[in-house]
Amino acid sequence: MIAVFAAMDTEVRAALSWASNIRESDAAGFPVYEVDGAVVCRTGIGPIAKDAARAALESYPSAIALSLGVAGGLSPKIDAGEVVVCIRIDHESHRTEAVDATVVCDSNLVEAAQAAARGMNLPSIMGSSVTVDEAAWGPEEKAAHHAWKGHDIVEMESFWIGQEAALRGLPFLAVRTISDHHGDTLVNTGAMRPDGTFDQEIFLEYIREHPEAQPIIARQYEAGRLAFTNLSIFCAAFLPPLAQHFSR
């Protein structure tokens, strides 16, 4: 069995785009979706992903662990929609704590992910990620993250999931599609809940109260739509062979 972790409901749907006969359950309160050969757990956003990964891996003995979703771009060479197959992940706190605790992704899984992306003609690179506890909303924050170790992307969960996989000796991989460029300023509408679900009413209220933000939100939506589309395409190519292989 393979264990897949995604923070947001939209990312979970992308990870399940290839699946049928989906069975819903939970692990210590975290939603889990079971399909043949795989489980997909919605972790919620940020460090809570560590608790979700621990609960799911204890409840569902797995051969590998994957962190899938969208991410912000830090490198000027990366555009929206691009697939980034991570070879390493750091946590931002280690920049000041002088701790060397890099999560290294499994080379065989990296190679398989690259092949899946190429097979679907998706733009892709191998890169590195920095996991943060607070979202990077603007160019200044992104530039500061990039300056540390030259990370290509920023997200909020992969380091924690990778740590839990490492504690169990499981091969691990993080793959992210890019939802915003390094120079983009994002609008925080407050509509994304910590558990990874979206509050439509709060979003519409924000739009009504801040009409001046609509052009930025529209561009943000289009970039995000491309990221989620490519994530779905990637998952449909990458996950079924893995699930079949590790269910034997």
Dihedrals φ, ψ of 127, to 5°? -155, -165
- Residue 170 confidence (pLDDT) above 90: yes
User: How far is residue 240's CA from residue 82's CA, in Å, rounded to a whole number?
Assistant: 21
Whether the CB-CB separation of 5 and 152 falls below 8 Å is answered with: no
Asked if pLDDT for residue 248 goes beyond 80, the answer is: no
Q: Give the pLDDT confidence score for residue 247 in this predicted structure.
A: 80
Strands 64-73 and 172-180: parallel
The pLDDT of residue 47 is: 97
Whether pLDDT at 189 is above 80:
yes
**Would you state the pLDDT for residue 94?**
87
Element (H, E) at 209: helix 200-209
Per-residue model confidence as pLDDT tens digits over 69-98: 999 999 999 999 999 999 999 999 888 776
Nearest-10 crossing angle of helices 158-167, 48-59: 40
Q: pLDDT, tens digit, for every residue of 205-215?
A: 999 999 999 99
Domain count, the chain: 1
Alpha carbons 197 and 209: distance in angstroms, whole number? 22
Mean pLDDT of the chain: 95
Q: Which domain holds residue 193?
A: 2-246
3-state class percentages of the chain: helix first, strand second, coil last, to nearest 5: 40, 25, 35
What CATH number corresponds to the domain at position 239?
A: 3.40.50.1580
Going through 146-229 in order, the beta strands assigned E by DSSP cover 153-155, 172-180
Average pLDDT over residues 195-212: 95
Give the model confidence (pLDDT) of 98-139 as tens digits.
667 899 999 999 999 999 999 999 999 999 999 999 999 999
